[in-house]
A = this chain, B = another copy of it.
Amino acid sequence: MTTHVRIVGAGLIGTSLGIALSGKGFRVSLDDPSPTAVRLARDLRAGEIAAADTDAPDVVVVAAPPDVAADVVVAALERWPDAVVTDVASVKESVLHSVLDSGVDPSRYVGSHPMAGRERSGTAAARADLFEGRAWVIVPHETSTQAAVAALREIALAVGSLVLVMPAHEHDEAVAAVSHVPQLAASIVAACLRDLPESAVGLAGPGLRDVTRIAASDPRLWTQILAGNAPAVRAVMRLVRDQVDDVVNALDALVDADGAGALGTLSRVLEAGNLGRARIPGKHGAPPAAYEVVSVVVPDEPGALARLLGDVGEAGINLEDLHLEHGLGQAVGVAELSVVPASVEPLHTELARLGWRVHD
Contact = CB atoms under 8 A, between A and B. Distances in A.
A177 B162 contact: no
A236 B202 contact: no
A244 B309 contact: no
B205 A178 contact: yes
Contacts of A263: 223, 227
A286 B231 CA distance: 42
A103 interface: no
Contact of A280 (B208, B220, B316): B208
A133 B327 contact: yes
B273 A212 contact: yes
A194 interface: yes
Contacts of A160: 327, 330, 332
Contact of A199 (B128, B174, B326): B174
B237 A241 contact: no
Interface stretch (A28-36, A54-62, A140-148, A300-308): A300-308
A281 interface: yes
Contact of A273 (B191, B230, B317): B191
Given A237-B247, A266-B226, A310-B306, A273 B329 contact: no
A44 B293 CA distance: 20
Given A174-B199, A276-B194, A329-B284, A270 B187 contact: yes
Contacts of A230: 251, 254-255
Most B Cβ at <10 Å: residue of A200, A231, A236 = A200
Contact of A310 (B127, B175, B297, B310): B310
B196 A177 contact: yes
Interface in A174-190: 174-175, 177-179, 181-190
How many A residues touch the partner, as a band?
Answer: 35 or more
Interface in A35-86: none
A194 B267 contact: no
A6 to B, nearest CB: 25
A209 interface: yes
A24 interface: no
A188 B326 contact: no
A184 to B, nearest CB: 6
A102 interface: no
Contacts of A270: 183, 187, 217, 219, 222-223
Contacts of A306: 306, 309-314
Interface of A: 115, 127-129, 132-135, 137, 160, 162, 164, 166, 170-171, 173-175, 177-179, 181-194, 196-197, 199-205, 207-217, 219-220, 222-223, 226-227, 230-231, 233-234, 236-241, 243-245, 247-248, 251-252, 254-255, 259, 262-263, 266-267, 269-281, 283-285, 295, 297, 300-307, 309-314, 316-319, 321-322, 324, 326-334, 357, 359
19 contacts: A127-B295, A135-B329, A174-B199, A174-B200, A178-B203, A183-B207, A190-B275, A191-B273, A202-B281, A212-B277, A212-B280, A213-B277, A216-B274, A216-B278, A231-B255, A240-B244, A283-B333, A306-B311, A306-B314
